[in-house]
Amino acid sequence: MKRRFFIQRFSQEKGSYWQEYVIDCDPTWVVLDALEAIHKQDPSLAYRRSCRHGICGACAININGKNRLACETRVANLPEKIRIKPLPGFPVIRDLVVDLNLLYQHIETVKPYLITQTPPPEKERFQSPEDRKKLDGLYECILCGACTSACPTFWANRNFLGPTALLKACLFFMDSRDEAKTDRKAILNSHPGLWQCHSIFNCTEACPKGLNPLRAIVMLRKKILRGK
């Protein structure tokens, strides 16, 4: 099946422009397969990819106006004309490759690691299945950046922590083993993020893993307001 791909290209030398590629796609193909086929014809095309099946988060791009993983988007489910752009909201390095350093910095700000003071027991710390269940919907994030890229508040304010970092913050806030809640609360209160979110829901719509960063933000707000 023939598909027309319109790809937004960018390089320092040539600036920004659209390029069309007509590709004969196999019905089993995902957009990443099409990008690989284009790359074979035109080795100048730059994009990121690694795992090919939706767990590494490298290949998030904008396909027909939506942030998605190239490796999980079936070509057969798309119209004949397919417009591909880099993730919006981040500086473009080249073609579909964007600079995600700001995303990574915001994640680092929320201390994305378990903090404990009590010395660990000889074996594992106990955590009830109920407490562990509270991490579901939070721990599965693949750091692809699709949600933060879709967030208008982040577009307007580069210091806004954004949904990716806030989801991470919520993960450790909800972990029954974590002993740094006071510290985490102080971080969230002193950075634009938790209280600046306008509940636009773009993040939730954009997440390729079906996670709900806005729900995490609301959970965090409740936790902090209740002083827990």
Partner 1 sequence: MVTHRHEIVIVGAGIAGLAAALEAAMAGRDVAVVSKVFPTRSHSVAAQGGTAAALGNMEPDRWEWHFYDTVKGSDFLGDQNAQALFCQEAIDTAYFLEHIGVPFSRTEDGRILQRYFGGHYSDFGQGPPVRRACLAADRIGHVMLHTLFGQCLRYKVHFYSEFLVTRLLMHEDGCAGVLAWELVKGEFHLFQAKLTLLATGGYARLFQVSTNAAINTGDGMGMVLEAGLPLEDMEFVQFHPTGLYPWGFLISEGVRGEGGHLLNADGERFMQRYAPAKMELAPRDVVSRAIQSEINAGRGIDGKPYVYLDITHLSEEVIKEKLPQIREMAIKFAGIDPKKAPIPVAPSAHYSMGGIPVNVDCEVLADGKKEVVPGLFAAGECACVSIHGANRLGTNSTMECAVFGRRAGKRMAKLAEKTRFLPLPEVQVKMGQEEIKALFERGPKVKVGEVREKLQESMTQNCGILRGKSQLKRQLDILQDLKSAYKNIGLKGLPVAYNLALQEALELKHMLNLAEAIVRGALARTESRGAHYRTDFPKRDDKNWLKHTLVFMQEEQYRLDYKPAVITSFQPEERRF
Residue at token pair 């979110």: 197
Residue 54 contacts partner 1 per CB under 8 A: yes
Residue 25 contacts partner 1 per CB under 8 A: no
CB nearer to partner 1: pick between 57 and 153: 57
Binding string to partner 1 for residues 55 to 94, with x set by CB under 8 A, is what? xxxx-------------x-x------------------xx
Residue 124 contacts partner 1 per CB under 8 A: yes
φ, ψ for residue 4, nearest 5 deg: -105, 120
Residue 27 contacts partner 1 per CB under 8 A: no
Judged by DSSP in three states, 159 sits in coil
Residue 111 contacts partner 1 per CB under 8 A: yes
Contact 59, 48 (CB under 8 A): yes
Residue 43 contacts partner 1 per CB under 8 A: yes
Q: Report how far residue 149's alpha carbon sits from residue 61's, in angstroms, rounded to the nearest whole number.
A: 10
Q: Report how far residue 63's alpha carbon sits from residue 84's, in angstroms, rounded to the nearest whole number.
A: 5
Residue 102 contacts partner 1 per CB under 8 A: no
Residue 120 contacts partner 1 per CB under 8 A: yes
For residue 213, CA distances in Å to 47, 84, 173, 209 come to 26, 25, 14, 11
Computed from CA positions of residues 89, 57, 69, 26, in that sequence, does the dihedral angle turn out positive or negative?
positive
Contact 8, 57 (CB under 8 A): no
Interacting residues with partner 1 between 128 and 167 (CB under 8 A): 128-129, 131-132, 135, 139-140, 142-143
CB nearer to partner 1: pick between 40 and 226: 40
Interacting residues with partner 1 (CB under 8 A): 11-13, 28, 30, 36, 39-40, 43-58, 72, 74, 93-95, 97, 99-100, 104, 108, 111-116, 120, 122-129, 131-132, 135, 139-140, 142-143, 175, 177
